[in-house]
Structure 1
Amino acid sequence: MSRRWRRSERVVDPEWADEGVVGEAEWDTSPVVGGWSMTSGAAANRAALARWAAWAVIVAGPLLGVGALLAIPASAGSTVPSAAVQPSAPAPAVGPAGFAELFVTQYVSAGEGDQSALAAFWPGARSVTFEGAPGRRQVTQIATVRTIPLGGGLWSVTVGARVIEPDAHPTSTSAAAGPRAAAGPGVRYFQVALASSGEAAAGVPFGYIALAAPAEVAAPGQVAAPQLEYGVMQAAAASDVRVQTVGQFLTAYLAGGDLTRFLTPGVQMTGITPAPYTAVAVDQIAAAGLGSDADSAGSQVPADGTRQDVLVTVRATGGDGTRTPLSYALSLTARAGRWEITALDAAPVPALDLTTPPTATSPSTSAR
């Protein structure tokens, strides 16, 4: 920076005059930048602009903050992204279900002296008194009907067990025969509370313990069956081409034979091997979209590409001559003047939306 003497024509800013700058000659103390000099008046103007800009920022700050708060939508109140609160996938229920089934099987058949064996499932069994001989009651069949994860490693499992009770008034013959000589087995339901401990790398619990003895509970409520989209079941008529196609297809499927000629092109299906039956006869048929003329609706094949869902009841004859009733839901497609099998459906097609929970009826009193 350098100073040089210059002649000023006038005082630009009155503040300079107040500081004793009089006359037309003065020292120019403005800096020289890049070969250009800034006069004192220009510097004063720039300082004034800077002061005004600073005041503008100070005043505008609160106003901008209030405006930003008013602009936030009401839905932005949550500080946790929606993706962060999505529930995680439930842990597999196979483990607790299997443990509960083993525990109930051991518990139902327990008798005097079985405390140690039960303690492996429930440590509290050591302090419980069991009466009767071990094995006097037997579980012939058991299955889990409900598994509820309670969180925190806790589970509630309900199992159904077919139990044979000893005869209350045994005869000499039944007493010698043992528990299996009692009245027919009934299904009873037991609810078990479990805790899981220890987790593998995949987050699946691998250790379980019962929190208490099983609680015998009522049978689950019966659910009203939904209406199906099919019409009323009709006796299978020999003139119905759908009955002919379905009968021949199911005969090949259940009793052995070539399925290819009954299938829609591109559809692949394999029959049961070894064949469990020797013959199949269609007893009844119901089809979707049929009106009052259901009896004669199958006498003709519609235009190519027409698809129809049918539900049939058949009698399959076993090797010993015994006939077993079976039901099949099938999808048929018309092609070249005949019906072909497009799909062996996993279940009959309902006429209502199954996303709506069905209404449960009162618990059955004849479940046992």
Structure 2
Amino acid sequence: MSPAPTGRRQPAPSADPHTPTVHEAEAKQETGWVGGWSTGAQANSTALLRWLVWALIALGPLLGTLAYLSVPTTSPAPAPKNTPSTPAASGGQGAAGFASLFLAAYLSAGRGDEPELAAYYPPAGNLQLDGVSGRRRGEQLTVVRLRQIDTSVWSVTVAARVTGATPSATPSMQPGASSSPATTTGALRYFQVPVATAPGGGGATAYTALALPAEVAAPERATTPELVYGAMHPALPTDPRTQAVTSFLTAYLTKAGAELDRYLAPGTRLTAPSPAPYAGIAVDQFAAEGESGGELVVSVPGDGTTLRLLVTLRATGRDGVRLPLTYALTLKARADRWEIASLDGAPALTPPPPAPVASGTPGPATTPTS
């Protein structure tokens, strides 16, 4: 007796052994497979990617810092130096030298030397000079005055001993100009030269003349300031100060410093001219600090006393010619004799008087007398 049909159709067996059966498909659905991926594996991958992104975000500043530090260190380009619009005050020294060179060329210039002057003063190229080139010359050129007229302009006064000047050889700087009056050969003359400065290449200073030299009068001589010394008086052989300075100057000028130290105060160091320039000396006069002159001095004060002297002498050269010289010295007493404490660079000036007390300022208190 055959079994009764249940109404449920049994699936036909698949001919392909690799084709999953209905039960296998249902099993896959139950285990979470979607499109060949397990839903569990997909969730794990998503979580992994999420953590990776967060890790990159967290490591971002650290990675940036490492990248910055890994860049090779390079020295920053030096800031461009601003070229000063005006030269420093030290440009006056260069202006003085430039003016001296210009004046030397100017004094010896003649026909055909216009381009040489144009190197210092460009408009000079259009001049027409008279006279023979080199007939007169400027010798012993010395800057005697230097004034800063403007930020970049200097007025330089140069003294020159002009030789070879005659009325016929005096150049005229302009066409048709008449000859200047006769000049004394070898006369000392003074010329004022205006010089402009400007920044040059490589940090140097450039110079140019603003005009031709102008002949001017000699600079005014200053009034001799008052010195601390008294009147000059003869250097007596019995005076200990005469003995001290004579011994010192003899060793200093005639012995090239031999035995010089024996005349110097402790701590004083001096170097004598070498070779010795003179064969002998004679101290004629001296003036002592705070002394009116005429006092007879035969003793030496206590140790440590200092005294400034202005000494005049005659030094006899190897040719027998005597030359007057003046020395400012400071003496110091020690062991009943004078020693040389210093060879001063210049005579000492009398200090200026104290400033007057302003009105209303209380003066020193005085005790009334009964």
TM-score bin, normalised by smaller chain: 0.5 to 0.7
**SS at the partner of 2:274?**
coil
Deviation at 1:150, TM superposition (A): 2.8
Residue identity matched to 2:288: A
Whole-angstrom CA distance in 1 between matches of 2:314 and 2:200: 50
Partner of 2:359: none
Q: Which amino acid aligns with 2:99?
A: A
CA contact 2:108–2:137 (8 Å) conserved in 1: yes
Counterpart check, 1:140 vs 2:139: yes
- 2:168 and 2:126 mapped to 1: Cα distance? 31
Give the drift of 1:166. 3.1
Structure 1 segment 213-224 matched on structure 2, within 5 A: 213-224=212-223
Matches within 5 A, 1:297-316: 297=297, 299-316=298-315
Unaligned runs of 5+ in 2: 1-86, 170-182, 356-370
The answer for the alignment partner of 1:176 in structure 2 is none
1:278 CA displacement: 1.1
| Residue in structure 2 matched with residue 254 of structure 1 by the alignment | 253
Q: State the secondary structure of the residue aligned to 1:97.
A: helix
Q: Counterpart of 2:232 in structure 1: which amino acid?
A: M
TM-aligned CA distance change 1:219 to 1:323, over 3 Å: same
Q: Could you say if the C-alpha distance between residues 151 and 167 of structure 1 is closer, same or farther in structure 2, counting changes exceeding 3 Å?
A: closer
SS at 2:131's partner residue? coil
**Whole-Å Cα distance in 2 between the matches of residues 186 and 114 of structure 1?**
24
Q: Does 1:154 align with 2:145?
A: no
Instruction: Report the residue type matching 1:296 in the other structure.
Output: L
- Say which SS state the counterpart of residue 194 (structure 2) adopts: strand
SS of structure 2 residue aligned to 1:104: helix
> Structure 2: how far apart are the matches of 1:219 and 1:100?
17
Equivalent position of 2:79 in the other structure: none
Question: Which residue does 1:27 correspond to in 2?
Answer: none
Alignment map for 1:203-242 (pairs within 5 Å): 205-242=204-241
How far, CA to CA, are the matches of 2:289 and 2:343 in structure 1? Answer: 15
Secondary structure of the 1:321 match is coil
Cα distance between partner residues in 1 of 2:108 and 2:225 = 39
CA distance in 2, matches of 1:235, 1:169: 53
Q: CA deviation at 1:352?
A: 4.1
- 1:274 counterpart = 2:278: no
1: CA distance, partners of 2:225 / 2:119: 44
Equivalent residue, structure 2, for 1:325: 324
Contact 1:192 1:213 in 2 (8 A): yes
Kept after mapping to 2: 8 A contact 1:153/1:196 = yes
Measure how far apart 1:145 and its partner are. Answer: 1.0
Q: Taking structure 1 as reference, are residues 310 and 200 closer, same or farther at Cα in structure 2, changes over 3 Å only?
A: farther
Structure 1 range deviating more: 134-143 or 329-338: 134-143
What is the CA-CA distance between 1:164 and the residue it aligns to? 1.2
Q: Quick check: 2:166–2:185 contact (8 Å CA) kept in 1?
A: no
**Per-residue deviation at 1:103?**
0.1
Query: How far is 1:168 from its partner?
Result: 4.4
Is the 1:226–1:352 Cα contact (8 Å) retained in structure 2? no
TM-score, normalization: structure 1?
0.65
Residue pair 2:91, 2:205 contacting (<8 A) in 1 also: no
Once the 2 structures are TM-superposed, how far is the Cα of residue 198 of structure 1 from its aligned partner? 1.9
Partner in structure 2 of residue 116 of structure 1: 115
Q: How far apart in 2 are the matches of 1:243 and 1:193?
A: 51
| Structure 2 contact 152–197 (Cα < 8 Å) conserved | yes
Aligned CA distance change for structure 1 residues 190 and 167 (closer, same or farther; 3 Å): closer
Q: Is the 8 A contact 1:162 1:185 kept in 2?
A: yes
1:193 — aligned with what?
A: 194
Displacement, 1:92? 4.1
Report deviation, 1:127: 1.2
Tell whether the 8 Å contact from 2:154 to 2:196 is kept in structure 1 after alignment: yes
* Structure 2 equivalent of residue 265 of structure 1: 266
1:96 counterpart residue number? 95
Distance 2:103 2:122 in 1: 14
2:126 alignment counterpart: 127
Shift of 1:140: 1.6
Q: Structure 1 counterpart of 2:217, which letter?
A: A
Equivalences for residues 24-173 of structure 1 within 5 A: 90-168=89-167
Corresponding residue of 2:289: 288
Q: 1:227 to 1:101 in 2, by over 3 A?
A: same
Question: 2:303 & 2:201 partners in 1: Cα distance?
Answer: 56
Give the distance between the partners of 1:123 and 1:146, measured in 2 at CA: 24
Q: CA deviation at 1:93?
A: 2.1
**Contact 1:243-1:282 at 8 Å conserved across structures:** yes
In structure 2, what is the Cα distance between the partners aligned to 1:236 and 1:195? 53
State the shift of 1:152 in Å: 3.5
Q: Distance in 2 between matches of 1:194 and 1:215?
A: 12
| In 2, Cα distance between equivalents of 1:119 and 1:166 | 23
Secondary structure (helix, strand or coil) at the match of 2:278 reads coil
| Secondary structure class of the residue paired with 1:317 | strand
Cα distance in 2 for residues equivalent to 1:224 and 1:126:
43
Query: Amino acid of the residue matched to residue 260 of structure 1?
Result: D
Q: Aligned in 2, Cα 1:226/1:167: closer, same or farther, shift over 3 Å?
A: same
- Whether the 8 Å CA contact 1:234–1:295 is kept in 2: the answer is no
* Mapped contact 2:91–2:197 kept (Cα < 8 A): no
Q: 1:183: how far off?
A: 5.1
How far the C-alpha of 1:151 sits from its partner, in A, is 3.2
Distance 1:100 1:144 in 2: 9
1:258-310 per-position Cα deviation (integer Å, ceiling 9, x unaligned): 21000000111111111100111100011011245x4313x111111111000
What TM-score comes out, normalization by structure 2 length? 0.65
SS state of the match for residue 279, structure 1?
strand
Give the direction of change, closer, same or farther, for the CA distance of 1:289–1:200 in structure 2 (3 Å limit): farther
Return closer, same or farther for 1:206/1:161 CA change in 2, 3 Å cut-off. same
